[in-house]
Amino acid sequence: MKNKKLFWIPRILAIAYILFLSLFSFDTDFGIGFLIHLLPSMIFTGCLILAWFKPKVGGILFSIAGLGTIIVFNTYRDLFVLFMISVIPIIIGIAFALLKRKK
């Protein structure tokens, strides 16, 4: 039972994080701006799909993408924004990387 919970926790957190990021795309008109604002969600969705089947590789990519958000979005300027946008995917990536592959 405990192993099953550990299996689902990073996946549910990743889905919630991707949905949270997707909310930011709704502040533009539907069109090219909408798609550009969805790029981070698409990148993290790709990381989630990879992490679903190869947790260690996907976890490393999730962590790298989280570190990338610090540079791209300048989240280091505000501690709250740093945690909400950059630290959460790093934590998710670490959780995926620490999971043992289900046999």
Confidence of residue 2 (pLDDT cuts 50, 70, 90): low
What pLDDT, in 10s, does the model give residues 26-64? Answer: 888 888 888 888 999 999 999 999 999 999 999 999 999
Domain that holds residue 41: 2-98
Establish if 51 belongs to a structural domain. Answer: yes
pTM assigned to the model = 0.87
Do residues 18 and 5 make contact, with C-beta atoms less than 8 angstroms apart? Answer: no
Q: What's the helix, strand, coil split of the chain in %, to 5?
A: 85, 0, 15
Establish if 59 belongs to a structural domain. Answer: yes
Q: Token pair for residue 7?
A: 């299996």
Coil, strand, or helix at residue 28? coil
Establish if 25 belongs to a structural domain. Answer: yes
Number of independent structural domains in the chain = 1
Confidence of residue 1 (pLDDT cuts 50, 70, 90): low
Establish if 103 belongs to a structural domain. Answer: no
Cα distances (Å, whole numbers) of residue 95 to 9, 15, 36: 8, 14, 28
